[in-house]
Structure 1
Amino acid sequence: MKRIFIILFFLLTVLAGCKKWLDVNSDPDTPQNPDAASVFPTQLAGIPRGTQYDARYIGRYIQNWNSDLSTRAADVNFDRMGYTGASDANGDIWRQTYFGLGQNLRYIITVGRDKGQWDYVGAAYALMAFMFQSCTDHHGEIIFTEAFKENTAIFKFDGQDTVYNGVRVWCDSALFYLNRTDLNPANNKLSRGDYALGGSNQKWIKFVNGILARNYNHLSNKTIYDPAKVIAYCNASLASIDDDFMIPFDATKNDDTNFFGPYRNNLTFFRQSNFIVQLLDGTILAGDTSVYENRDPRIRHMLSTSNDTTNGNGGYRGVDPGAGDPNASGTANARKRVAVPWGDSIYENPSANVFTPNGGKYLFRDKVVSPVMTYSEIQFIKAEAAYRMADYTTALAAYTEGIKAHFAFINNSKMPRNNNVLYNGSTISNTQRDIYLNSPNVKRTAADLTMADIMLQKYIALWGWGFTETWVDMRRFYYGVIPDPRNGLPVYKGFVLPATLSSQNLGLLVCRARPRYNSEYVWNQDELARIGALEINYHTKPMWFMVP
């Protein structure tokens, strides 16, 4: 009996102590309820993961770049506005929206409310709005009202009108919390976890207004479009390049190195397009490459030149979609090949799997920022809105400021976390900039300004980073089919559609990315059937924001 008592006493003691043995929250090395300050940096890092991964595909649709080979079937298919079936290709914005950021941002909001960390709550709402805006602009109908529904594997898709309204609601919540000044002084402030905007509530407020400016400007084809509201949000948004929202990289290991840099080697088969070359060398905007002053001084910082510089524009060449580089290695024209994005006269990656923080070029370096929103972009949004309301004087001023702001963006020497500058060798001088501003590339009177001037300069300013926003712009004008409302001229002049569209398109142009394969086509097929996403050419279905 005594033995039984001892055994029972031992068991009760052990059971009473189980909570201590099993409570991992008591282990500071494995916290289960981390503070918002420790979670927030991972959310910032997740933004480039989505946009840069999918840029490999939509970058071809908008011809930021194309494949250098005409024999790589998958690459050529995207060049021709197709897609890869039974694959997650072009599904990383989706992944980041729901898996990478979604629940983590909700966690920050919950914890932040409990602790009075209103700045974290506001910033988390801002990132939620940004990611869902990007996701719906990428895919069209997405899961929104049931996005975080628990205990189910089937989720309802919502129309873009619902998502657009929901993004605005989240923006309102973001502004409400970011404007609160009654922070709990016992808790860490946003500056501890925010390595992009330095914890500045005012910069986050400007960013939120920028999201709203994008949101409302995307409605330009609809009767509810209000250009005055767009301009108001632009005026409340980024006020200078000091407000630019850029995610920096430390480049100490694979996961904190720029996806576009030479170390990670993700752009091996990508080459700058003829479209961007001709926008910068004077062909499209000035109509003449024979005059040196017509060459945009930004070209030497953004693009790569070939060994052979005898083509009249300094050796800058590009490729057309689906055609590959016509100047093959080992032929008499090999010196005319289009160089890789990482440097002039280079045809192979100079440092794959080797950290070279100072190597590369422009936004294609290991340790360089990935922009999220810039002052230049906001000015071009303002210019378009003013142009649509026939206030051509305001449109001209914003258009001119947008160009100057992009020059300043390239010249900026104050990158967060000591990231590399975007210029190569030296900055663009004010004299060089002003010569360009007074060249035929740039309109100087309100009477001469066209929508093409605005949208093509915006394309240049967003090249290499603003892929989703540029794709929205091109689809709003249906790649140039919808003309300038003022003069009836093509907006994307010089943009040449692929000579052959993918057989998947059935003769139509791409308008959306299909939902992510491994989360939707595997588990949610009934909903996909309801919205038509099982059709071979679902990706050509016009987006809600495209139609009146």
Structure 2
Amino acid sequence: MKNKLLYIAIAAGMLTSITSCKKFLDINSDPDTTQEPSNSSVLPQTLAAMPTGLQSDGGLYVSKYVQNWLTGSSANANVYDLQGYTFSGGTMAATWTMTYQAMGNNLNYIVDNGIKKGQNDYVGAALALKAWSFQHTTDYNGDIPFHDAFKPGTFAFHYDTQEEVYKGVDSLCKAALEYLSKAAASPESNTLAKGDFVYNGDVNKWTKFVYGILARNAHHLTNKATYDANKVIEYCDKAMASVSDDFVVPFDATVNNNSNYFGTFRDNMGTLRQSNFIVRLLDGTALAGSNIKANRDPRMAYMLSASNDTTNGNGGYRGVDPGQGDPYYALNAPTSYYVNGAPPTSGTNLTNYNNARKKVAVAWGDSTYTNVSPGVFNNNTGKYLFQNKAPFPVMTYAEIQFIKAEAALRSNKSGVAYTAYINGINGHFDFINRVYSSIRGASNIYGATPIPAASRSSYLAGANVKKSADGLTLTDIMLQKYIALWGWGFFETWVDMRRYNYTAPDPATNQQVYYTFSLPTPLYTNNNSLPVQRVRPHFTSEYTYNRAELERIGVLQMNYHTKKMWFSEP
């Protein structure tokens, strides 16, 4: 209240001193302080907000819930590795900030301004982004403000149920499709390319993105009697048709805020290490039953980092388990144990040297254990999606194909499911091999050379991939989907794992759908032995201004983060 009174007092003083200066108050006539910016100048800010929200919340926290990677210290008591949650002002709050601040009223402005000026392409794109942000946020937080989210003159906002938000997302998508259809019918009047650095103003690609949102929205409800697999398949068929339709956000990497959050410059991944779960999926252990060379996924060398020591049977790819960390984390680099400039041949130095070579490498490169260029815009460092100029995916063709495959298998369309399953695998190979430099000069995530066609063919013919529709299981689909989303699609993977209650069995095999995945033992102390299901609303704003609503929906309970989501319930 003190700050509000001070603001009013300052405002009153300003009005007293300038009431006779009409030109000063006419800010819309001053190009330096314009209050009616063009849609082309507002849209880029909303697009840029997407990776910030996804990478910081997803990369640091949700990625640990689904075991993309984990904390690498040997004394690992990390709350999030153990699926816990702690109360803190900015912790896990980037999604909330993105939806309600960075994107919120900016998108509302684009919609209102676009309708006024007849810019159907901008209106359609803005409505699509609104739908996407609310879908993402409700899957992250549960009940959230939706209908009253941007109600003017309001400090406390009503929380809508997740069911209501899901319906609202569907409505926003349908509205977006109407405006995009109008834009497609009058391409000569479209100016979206001026502000759109994702699809360069292509309304057809925006339309596919909207159908992708609808596919997610409808498919998340697999546990409900109302689940409509045919509708999901319909949406998938109208969504991304190839890797060229992927929604990826590029980075210029000229300053901190336009550089990839996972790149070496920003140095956010130094304590994180790839999990043993993803290693098992890629080295053949989980999908083929053995990590012999013939069973190793060629994507492993492009996605993961190998250690110096290659004596573990899979080429040196190692990971960590939740609550365990890297047992060799405290050891120095192998070279620190050299004797007279060469590797030791005996004694304690040899023991330490061999153990240090077993350390799990950082995501930025093979046999690399620290960041080689923090705070430096070196675009030759990093690996896969962990480069300063690597683009960040929001939705991909491969993901859509795996959604279609699961929906088809659930509706006994095994042939359709198998085709989509193979398309999903190929789609992820294409995702890695795509030349991204055409998107604002982004870095290619395959590094020096793409995955050879022969390696892909060998993998598809090998033991990791089913050869026909007969015997295709949910496990086959979901594990390949996990691989395709690893490193970026943590939130969708989290939705999937919660749909399957993390460790639910595949009815075809009676083994876990997420075969070889294990929950942390024990789970975090505040979990009451239950896995995590949701994230609390923004701590600072909601606990200060909206406490009554939090009390109403039960947020203040200690184990609220383990309360199951509406979408995952029957």
TM range (shorter): over 0.9
Give the 3-state SS of the residue equivalent to 1:480 in structure 2: coil
Partner of 1:30: 33
**Correspondences of 1:80-159 after superposition (within 5 Å):** 80-159=82-161
**Equivalent residue for 2:240?**
238
Counterpart Cα distance in 2 of 1:84 and 1:521: 14
Cα distance in structure 2, aligned partners of 1:133 and 1:219:
13
Q: State the one-letter code of the partner of 1:426.
A: T
Name whichever of 443-452 and 22-31 sits farther off. Answer: 22-31
Task: Select which of 438, 453, 460 maps to 1:430.
Answer: 453
Q: Which residue of 1 aligns with 2:312?
A: 311
Residue deviations 1:444-472, cap 9 Å, x none? Answer: 11112110000000000000011111100
Deviates further, 221-230 or 405-414: 405-414
Which 10-residue stretch deviates more, 102-111 or 483-492? 483-492
The alignment partner of 1:249 has SS state of coil
Which of 388, 396, 400 is equivalent to 2:422? 400
1:134-187: per-residue Cα shift (whole Å, max 9, x none)? 000001111111101122211111111100000010001100001114899997
Q: Tell me the residue number matched to 1:441.
A: 464
Question: Structure 1 residue 542 and structure 2 residue 564: aligned?
Answer: yes
User: Are the counterparts in 2 of residues 115 and 187 from structure 1 also a CA contact under 8 Å?
Assistant: no
- Residue 511 of structure 2 aligns to a residue whose secondary structure is coil
1:221 paired to 2:223: yes
SS in 1 for 2:182: coil
Matched, 1:57 2:65: no
Amino acid at match of 2:275: S
Identity %: 53
- Alpha-carbon distance in structure 2 between the residues aligned to 1:245 and 1:525: 37
Out of 517-526 and 295-304, give the one that drifted further.
Answer: 517-526
Q: Does 1:71 align with 2:75?
A: yes
Q: How big is the shift at 1:89? A: 1.1
Output the aligned Cα RMSD.
Answer: 1.6
Deviation of 1:25 (Å): 2.0
Aligned partners of 2:291 and 2:314 also within 8 Å: yes
Aligned residue among 20, 23, 31 for 1:20? 23
Return the alpha-carbon distance in structure 2 between the equivalents of residues 249 and 533 of structure 1.
36
Bigger CA drift: 82-91 or 113-122?
82-91
- 1:293-350 deviations in Å (ceiling 9; x for gaps): 2000000110000011111111000000111101131445111100111111111111
SS in 2 for 1:66: strand
| Mapping of residues 258-297 of structure 1, within 5 Å | 258-290=260-292, 292-297=293-298
1:454-509 CA distances to partner (integer Å, 9 max, x unpaired)? 0000000000011111100000001122x224444320011011121100101101
- Cα distance in 2 for partners of 1:272, 1:182 equals 44
Counterpart in the other structure of 1:9: none
Structure 2 contact 233–407 (Cα < 8 Å) conserved: yes
Match status 1:455 vs 2:457: no
Pair 1:207-2:230 in alignment? no
Indicate the residue corresponding to 1:388 in structure 2: 410
- Mapped contact 1:117–1:183 kept (Cα < 8 A): no
Q: Does 1:502 align with 2:506?
A: no
Residue type of the alignment partner of 2:129: L
1:484 corresponds to 2:486 = no
Tell whether the 8 Å contact from 2:120 to 2:190 is kept in structure 1 after alignment: no
Contact preservation (8 Å) 1:36, 1:111 = yes
Task: Answer yes or no: is the 8 Å Cα contact 1:105–1:125 preserved in 2.
Answer: yes
- CA deviation string 1:36-81 (max 9, x = no partner): 01100111000001110101100000000000014365xx111000
Question: Structure 1 stretch 352-361 or stretch 85-94: which is displaced more?
Answer: 85-94
For the pair 1:173 / 2:161, whether they are aligned, the reply is: no
Render the CA deviation track for 1:73-99: whole Å, top value 9, x for unaligned.
5xx111000012133211211110001
Offset from partner CA, 1:384-433 (integer Å, 9 cap, x none): 00000011111011001100110011001144111001112211111100
- The answer to whether the 8 A contact 2:74-2:324 is kept is yes
Structure 2: distance between partners of 1:151 and 1:15: 26
Q: Give structure 2 stretches of 5+ with no counterpart.
A: 1-16, 333-351
**Over residues 195-241 of structure 1, what are the superposed CA-to-partner deviations in whole Å (9 max), with x where a residue is unaligned?**
10110000000000000000000000001100000000000000001
Q: Name the CA distance, whole Å, in 1 between partners of 2:215 and 2:178.
A: 17
The one-letter code sitting in structure 2 at the alignment partner of 1:334 is: A
Instruction: Tell me if the contact between 2:121 and 2:190 (Cα under 8 Å) persists in the aligned partners.
Output: no
Mapped partners of 1:476, 1:371: distance in 2: 22
Q: Residues 351 and 222 from structure 1, CA distance in 2 versus in 1: closer, same or farther, beyond 3 angstroms? A: same
- CA distance in 2 between partners of 1:185 and 1:202 (Å): 11
2:498 counterpart of 1:475: yes
| 1:372 partner SS | strand
Q: Which runs of 5+ in 1 are unaligned?
A: 1-13
Name the SS for the 1:58 alignment partner: helix
Which whole-Å CA distance do the structure 2 matches of 1:256 and 1:77 have between them? 29
Residue type of the alignment partner of 2:172: W
Aligned-residue offset at 1:516: 1.0
Answering whether residue 512 of structure 2 is matched by residue 493 of structure 1, we say: no
Q: Which moved more, 1:385-394 or 1:519-528?
A: 519-528
Decide whether the 8 Å contact of 2:76 with 2:324 is kept in 1.
no
Contact 2:191-2:201 within 8 A present in 1 as well: yes
Offset at residue 188 of structure 1 (A): 6.6
Contact conserved, 2:183 with 2:190, CA < 8 A, in 1?
Answer: no
Q: State how far apart, in whole Å, the 2-side matches of 1:306 and 1:209 are.
A: 41
Counterpart amino acid of residue 521 in structure 2: A
